[in-house]
């Protein structure tokens, strides 16, 4: 929906409108509406003026609709009379479902990918649009009704005239007789090969309807329960052993952090987590679930016979690039065991402290007021996959020297650093977290690294180690830095112990970077400004950017990730607030006023304003707990992104 009023400020319909600018694209539908007399030339010129005043570009048809010059019924009428004039992709652009850049990127993907896919499949696979919107667009354009074969009554005798394999391959399903003809649901009614295949079976008198691929598959399953209904098998004749190896190698090649192997009602779906977002890799037939699961269980020494309980394990995978450590989790679902493999020991991801992405002034303060302190607890907090481990290891790397004894308790060890005594927890041999923490302070360490504070006992060990003069680095799972302090209080750690031992809490997230190969300037929309609680004057001097989409970033507009941080150094006002057990809101306000705290959202805004990430990513990933300060003030506090 385009945020317009009937007559926006600054545009008065009473004034004489200038001639329409022929250089401005009218699209293909607006001229047809003009030709049929549904709108006037004066209305088109006025709509052009309105569009020129919008802060973000919008299709002219959308503006015309928003001004209520035409109805959906009138648009349908001109579309159905002009099927050969307007392509579906162009129609979706004019209707505002996708952008011109999305369409160009999809057409480019279509040229490159083998085997060739239909445009609609590419748009859905790359998250440009959902399948339902495509169906509604086709229904609008062609006048075919949308049906759901999984729910409607199907004439099984009629459907038995064709084989399930044909219905799957050609993407259609007969539903019932209507008069002298047959109602048939198609995934793509514009594909002449599919329509001809249906006519060959049921005659020329067919009535076309549109349905999603999944709905047709579920409809086929109703009448052929044992039919093979995997549209995208993606398997050759290689063994399951080779298939598992190929999936892991592909994940390494794509620099994925996780592999998700998910059994579904009709197939096995494999997805990779790349730059923090799940990306579809390949589908496999259901038939290989038992052998695929057994193979991975053998590799990680899990119980092959156990299929009713969740399990975990570890794989040391040998490949040309060396040895890769994979953490494996088996999770029992209604369709079978879902398997997630986390790829560890990526040595190329171990950064120097200067390379983790902290702004200049924040990094200086982190060094001076936290990790260079002789004792105290430094907590790195954030959700799973936020880069906490990388920050901890970068800090260890910075502190590591021949005069310092560093000892760790981790589950598991993710990066091996020379000169560090690292212990990998293994409950199978009773090498538990509690047991390890009891022995760790007897090793005469200068610095203790606790992989994660997970309970009152581990929190107590961290605090006691700091009280006895040790420096402690650890991680925590909380939303922001203040949340880390509040959670410690809720673990029944005395407030005076927290205030006297915790020297710093760093909260962080990972945002996707704008792809350098296809970046372009981006002007914030009114909606984006409103969601940031900003006015145009608050972002003066910003250079926001966005990726257009290219082969290097898989047409996502993003390549790589950047960390955003929130650094809370516990100075006296904050310590007093903890002792007084003030609320998180009060502690946050005190931290901002007295210690110069810059929130996660504010650090993300500064990085977006520098063109490193996008406002869309900032809004998607970061907590908005209070109104951010103007950009100029934040840049001054941080000393640049």
- Please determine, looking at this structure, whether the domain spanning 144-223 carries the CATH number 3.10.450.50: no
Whether residue 418 is predicted with pLDDT greater than 80 in this model: the reply is yes
d(CA 279, CA 315): 23
The pLDDT of residue 587 is: 92
- Please determine, looking at this structure, whether the domain spanning 349-638 carries the CATH number 3.30.1280.10: no
Whether residue 19 is predicted with pLDDT greater than 60 in this model: the reply is no
The pLDDT of residue 24 is: 52
Residue (of 604, 383, 631, 389) closest to 512 by Cα position = 604
Lowest mean pLDDT among 130-134, 219-223, 424-428, 604-608: 424-428
- Pair 475, 487: CB distance under 8 Å: no
The pLDDT of residue 55 is: 60
pLDDT tens-place string over residues 45-64: 898 888 887 766 678 888 88
pLDDT tens-place string over residues 81-97: 765 567 778 888 887 78
Q: What is the mean pLDDT of residues 482-489?
A: 90
**Average per-residue pLDDT for the chain:** 84
Going by the DSSP 8-state scheme, the letter that residue 267 receives in this structure is -
Residues in a beta bridge with 401: none
CA angle 256, 262, 266 (to 5 degrees): 135
Residues in a beta bridge with 637: none
Whether residue 378 is predicted with pLDDT greater than 80 in this model: the reply is yes
Q: How many CA atoms lie within 13 Å of 411's alpha carbon, on the beta-carbon side?
A: 17
Among 222-231, 337-346, 440-449, 599-608, name the most confident range: 599-608
pLDDT tens-place string over residues 281-323: 888 888 888 899 999 999 998 998 888 899 988 898 988 878 8
Q: What is the mean pLDDT of residues 504-529?
A: 92
d(CA 475, CA 606): 25
More confident residue, 166 or 126: 166
Neighbours of 559 (CB within 10 A): 20
d(CA 546, CA 112): 23
The pLDDT of residue 56 is: 62
Q: What is the mean pLDDT of residues 25-46?
A: 86
The pLDDT of residue 11 is: 38
Among 22-26, 427-431, 439-443, name the most confident range: 439-443
Q: What is the mean pLDDT of residues 118-128?
A: 79
d(CA 311, CA 309): 6
Whether residue 35 is predicted with pLDDT greater than 70 in this model: the reply is yes
Whether residue 512 is predicted with pLDDT greater than 90 in this model: the reply is yes
Among 54-63, 128-137, 191-200, name the most confident range: 191-200
- Pair 547, 514: CB distance under 8 Å: yes
The pLDDT of residue 227 is: 66
Fold of 240-345: Beta-Lactamase (3.30.450)
Q: Could you tell me the pTM of the whole model?
A: 0.71
d(CA 313, CA 586): 43
Q: How many CA atoms lie within 13 Å of 2's alpha carbon, on the beta-carbon side?
A: 27
Going by the DSSP 8-state scheme, the letter that residue 18 receives in this structure is P
pLDDT band at 14 (very low <50, low <70, confident <90, very high): very low
d(CA 23, CA 508): 47
pLDDT band at 347 (very low <50, low <70, confident <90, very high): low
pLDDT tens-place string over residues 619-638: 999 998 889 999 999 999 99
d(CA 168, CA 389): 46
- Pair 114, 83: CB distance under 8 Å: no
Q: What is the mean pLDDT of residues 462-487?
A: 90
Whether residue 530 is predicted with pLDDT greater than 50 in this model: the reply is yes
- Pair 259, 274: CB distance under 8 Å: no
pLDDT band at 228 (very low <50, low <70, confident <90, very high): low
Domain boundaries defined on the chain:
1-86, 144-223, 240-345, 349-638
The pLDDT of residue 22 is: 46
CA angle 347, 299, 339 (to 5 degrees): 80
Residue (of 480, 443, 444) closest to 626 by Cα position = 480
- Pair 135, 212: CB distance under 8 Å: yes
- Pair 100, 58: CB distance under 8 Å: no
């Amino acid at each position: 929906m385009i945020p317009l009023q009937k007559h926006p400020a600054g545009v008065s319909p009473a004034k004489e409108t200038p001639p329409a600018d022929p250089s401005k694209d009218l699209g293909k539908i607006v001229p047809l509406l003009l030709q049929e007399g549904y709108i006037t030339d004066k209305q088109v010129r006025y709509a052009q003026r309105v569009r020129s005043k919008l802060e973000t570009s919008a299709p002219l048809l959308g503006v015309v609709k928003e001004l209520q010059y035409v109805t959906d019924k009138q648009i349908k009428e001109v579309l159905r009379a002009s099927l050969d004039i307007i392509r579906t992709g162009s129609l979706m652009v004019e209707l505002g479902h996708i952008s011109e850049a999305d369409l160009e990127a999809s057409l480019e993907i279509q040229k490159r990918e083998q085997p060739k896919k239909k445009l609609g499949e590419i748009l859905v696979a790359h998250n440009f649009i959902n399948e339902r919107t495509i169906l509604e667009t086709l229904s609008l354009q062609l006048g075919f009704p949308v049906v759901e074969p999984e729910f409607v009554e199907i004439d099984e005798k009629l459907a038995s005239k064709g084989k399930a394999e044909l219905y799957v391959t050609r993407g259609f399903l007969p539903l019932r007789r209507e008069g002298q003809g047959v109602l048939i649901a198609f995934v793509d009614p514009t594909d002449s090969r599919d329509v001809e295949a249906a006519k060959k079976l049921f005659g020329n008198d067919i009535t076309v309807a549109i349905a999603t691929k999944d709905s047709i598959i579920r409809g086929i399953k109703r009448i052929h329960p044992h039919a093979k209904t995997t549209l995208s098998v993606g398997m050759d004749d290689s063994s399951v052993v080779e298939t598992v190896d190929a999936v892991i190698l592909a994940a390494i090649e794509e620099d994925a952090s996780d592999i998700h192997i998910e059994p579904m009602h009709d197939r096995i779906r494999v997805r990779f987590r790349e730059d923090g977002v799940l990306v579809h890799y390949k589908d496999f037939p259901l038939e290989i679930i038992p052998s695929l699961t057994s193979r991975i269980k053998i590799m990680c020494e899990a119980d092959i016979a156990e299929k009713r309980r969740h399990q975990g394990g570890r794989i040391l995978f040998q490949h040309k690039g060396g040895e890769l450590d994979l953490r494996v989790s088996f999770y029992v679902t209604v369709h079978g065991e879902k398997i997630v493999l986390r790829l560890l020991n990526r040595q190329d991801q171990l950064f120097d402290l200067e390379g983790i992405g902290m702004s200049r002034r924040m990094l200086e303060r982190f060094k001076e007021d936290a990790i260079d302190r002789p004792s105290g607890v430094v907590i790195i907090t954030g959700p799973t996959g936020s880069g906490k481990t990388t920050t901890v290891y970068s800090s260890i790397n910075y502190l590591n020297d021949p005069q310092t004894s560093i000892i760790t308790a981790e589950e598991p060890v993710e990066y091996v650093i020379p000169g560090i005594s690292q212990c990998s927890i293994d409950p199978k041999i009773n090498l538990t977290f509690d047991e390890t923490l009891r022995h760790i302070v007897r090793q005469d360490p200068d610095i203790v690294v606790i992989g994660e504070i997970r309970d009152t006992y581990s929190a107590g060990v961290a605090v006691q180690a700091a009280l006895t003069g040790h420096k402690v680095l650890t991680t925590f799972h909380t939303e922001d830095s203040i949340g880390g302090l509040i959670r410690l209080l809720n673990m029944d750690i005395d407030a005076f112990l927290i205030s006297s031992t915790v020297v710093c809490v760093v909260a962080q997230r990972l945002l996707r970077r704008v792809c350098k190969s296809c970046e372009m300037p981006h002007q914030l929309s009114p909606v984006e400004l409103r969601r940031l609680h900003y006015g145009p004057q608050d972002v003066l001097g910003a250079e926001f950017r966005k990726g257009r989409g290219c082969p290097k970033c898989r047409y996502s507009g993003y390549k790589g990730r950047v960390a955003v941080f929130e650094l809370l150094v516990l100075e006296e006002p904050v310590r007093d607030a903890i002792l007084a057990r003030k609320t998180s809101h009060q502690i946050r306000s005190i931290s901002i006023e007295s210690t110069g705290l810059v929130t996660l959202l504010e650090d993300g805004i500064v990085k977006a304003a520098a063109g490193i990430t996008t406002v869309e990513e900032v809004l998607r990933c970061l907590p908005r707990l209070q109104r951010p300060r103007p950009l100029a003030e934040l840049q001054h506090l941080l000393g640049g992104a």
